[in-house]
Structures are given as C-alpha cells and as structure tokens.
Amino acid sequence: MSQISPEELKALIDQTYKVEEEYVALRQSYNHLQSTIEQVIEFLPNAIWIVETDGSIFLQNSQAKTLGKLFHTLHLDEEDYEMTFNDRSYLIKSAQHNDKRLLSATDITEQKRKENLATMGQMAAHLSHEIRNPIGSIALLASTLMKRVSEEHKPIVTEIQKSLYRIERIIKATLMFSKGVSAQKNALRWSQIREALNSAIGYYSYAKPIEFNFPEEDFELFGDLDLLTMLFTNFVFNAIDAIELDEEEDGVIEIQHSMDETHHVFEIYDSGIPIENKKWLFEAFKSTKERGNGLGLVLSKNIVLSHGGEIGLCMGDRKGFRFTLLH
C-alpha cells in the first residue's frame, strides 16, 4: 500500500474544504430560494400549496393555512374546477412542475353571488313586465266594481285592491332592483312622507291593533319623495309583518327623528318578533318572512346610500333599524 505524500494530503484536505464550502454555499442558495418563494406566495391573495409527489405539503402561504380543511378535500389529479366549502365558492387550479404540484384556491363567492343576482334580477324583471299589464287591468276593474257593488260587498273589493297594491309594490321593487336606484332629489317636507306613509298603511292588510307613532313635527329634507316614501313603507310594512307573527295581541311601531351636523337620523322600532338570520338582512332574494320577496331591505339600503347616508341595526334592548339621510 503506497503512502500519501504530504503534498497529496494537503491537496486532499484543500479539496475537502472546497467541497464543504460549495455545499454550504449551495445550501444557503437553496434556503434563500425557498425563502424567496415563501415571500412571493405570501403576497398572493389566494391560497397556495406546493405539494410533494406523495401529497404532503412542501410549502404553503398563510391563506392556505386558514383553509387546511379545504386542502384535504381537493382533487390533486384535476386541473381546473369549482367547488363549494363551508358555504363559500372556490376556483381550484392545479399544475405539475417537475416533482412538485402547485395548487391554488381563489374565493369566488362574491363573483358567483353577483352572477346569480344578475340572472335572478333579469328573470324577475321579465316576469314583472309580463305581470304588470294584467294587474293594471284588474286594478281598473276593481276600481269600477267598487263604485257599483252594494255596501255589504265593498269590503271584499277593498281586500282585492289591497292584494293588488301588494303585487304592484313587488313589481315596482323588482324593476327598481334590476335597473338600480337613481335618486332625483328636491326639497321636500316630512309631512309629505308621513301623509304618503299613512295612505300606504291603509292599503296594507293586517289583523292586529297596531299603534303607529310617527314624528309630529314637520321638517325639511332633501331627497327623492318616491324613494323616501318606499324607504319608510318598507320598514313599516316589515314591522307590521313582525307584529302579526308575534304572540302579543297588539303592537307598536315608532319612528324617532333627530339631527346631527350633517344628517337626519331616523330610528324605527317595533314590538314584533326578533330579527332572524341577521347576515341575510341586506341580501337580495333572501327572506325569512312568508310575505315578501327579499328585496325590501336591499332597496332600502340602496336608497339610503343614494341619499348620502348609512343603515344598520339599532344598538340596545329595543329591536329596530337606524339610518341617516344627508341634509
């Protein structure tokens, strides 16, 4: 066995150090690359997973970590598809690169909601146009009939007219939702809205005795009379329906008014049943009521926004809504 000379031993040691230095540099480069990839995927708005061939997670961003349970439902062999998880809609994309698979999950719930609303709005608007003409004819015939029937039969015709009024309100709300709210603002008085509101209540059917407490003082507003009348009638009619479903024999609906430096402030309270599914309050076509199409509060919110205000639930023990209207 030949001996290694000092020069050869030194060269071998130097080579070992060089290999070790290259390994350290390579390891540092790999760590830097991994850190860079982590930073890049962290900035992305959707959930990102980088997966090994055995299905284990190599890298993931914080969005992906919050959707850990979603990851276990993904189909790794499918490239692009949509899925629903925990009442949310996701677009799943998948791509293979060398020995890693990249998966992304994008929340498209709001996009799907808008698409569904647009479709339902178009369909509802079409039906409303089709219904409007025969309803107009029936209303005209009912008005003529009211003048000719005996006194004992007039209550029957009145109920027909009230039902027609309800249908006309639904048609008007549906068409307004499909076209959007556009406010034509002018100076007006609260007394005008109060008079229209009292008249509308006369056309609304309800069985229980209800006490209506509306502001008696008159004051000036700046807005669209038709839209503001619809706003207040929506809330009052919702309150009437809630009282009708309550176990009490009677009910109270109260509108309170105050002002701050820039806005009128209205609070509408009622003694009816509590509000259910608060997350659906301003969601179109979703209603827990037997009477209604799920558009009243959506339009009310749009009307308030078109008048420079805000809307929400009243804070405190009493059940009600609070909204503001710009002076």
Cα-based distances in Å from 70 to 25, 66, 173: 38, 9, 39
Confidence of residue 320 (pLDDT cuts 50, 70, 90): very high
Range scoring the smallest mean pLDDT among 33-42, 165-174, 316-325: 33-42
Confidence of residue 245 (pLDDT cuts 50, 70, 90): very high
Q: Which tokens sit at 212?
A: 């209506």
- Are 102 and 48 in contact by the 8 Å Cβ rule? The answer is yes
Q: Which long-range contacts (CB under 8 A, 24 or more apart) does 26-30 make?
A: none
Average pLDDT score over residue span 99-110: 89
Bridge-partner residues for 323, per DSSP? 266, 311
pLDDT at residue 282, rounded to an integer = 75
Tell me the average pLDDT of the chain. Answer: 84
Average pLDDT score over residue span 293-310: 87
Identify the three-state secondary structure at position 215. Answer: coil
pLDDT score of 290 more than 60: no
Between these two residues, 8 and 100, which has the higher pLDDT value? 100
Cα-based distances in Å from 108 to 43, 94, 253: 18, 16, 40
State what percent of residues in the chain have pLDDT above 70.
84
Confidence of residue 231 (pLDDT cuts 50, 70, 90): very high
pLDDT score of 40 more than 70: no
Confidence of residue 306 (pLDDT cuts 50, 70, 90): very high
Give the whole-angstrom CA distance, residue 40 versus residue 205.
Answer: 61
User: Which domains can be identified in the chain, with CATH numbers?
Assistant: 6-110 (3.30.450), 114-180 (1.10.287), 181-327 (3.30.565.10)
pLDDT at residue 208, rounded to an integer = 93
The per-residue DSSP string of 26-68 comes to HHHHHHHHHHHHHHHHHHSSSEEEEE-TTS-EEEE-HHHHHTH
Give the whole-angstrom CA distance, residue 132 versus residue 130.
Answer: 6
Residues across the chain: 327
Average pLDDT score over residue span 29-58: 75
Confidence of residue 197 (pLDDT cuts 50, 70, 90): very high
Q: Is residue 289 classed exposed, middle or buried when 0-12, 13-18 and 19+ CB atoms within 10 A define those classes? A: middle
114-144 tens-digit pLDDT: 787 677 677 777 777 788 788 888 889 999 9
Give residue 216's identity as a one-letter amino acid code.
E
Phi, psi of 263 (to 5 degrees): -135, 150
Q: Is residue 107 classed exposed, middle or buried when 0-12, 13-18 and 19+ CB atoms within 10 A define those classes? A: middle
Contacts of 176 (CB under 8 A, 6+ apart): 230, 299
pLDDT score of 90 more than 60: yes
Give the whole-angstrom CA distance, residue 95 versus residue 208.
Answer: 64
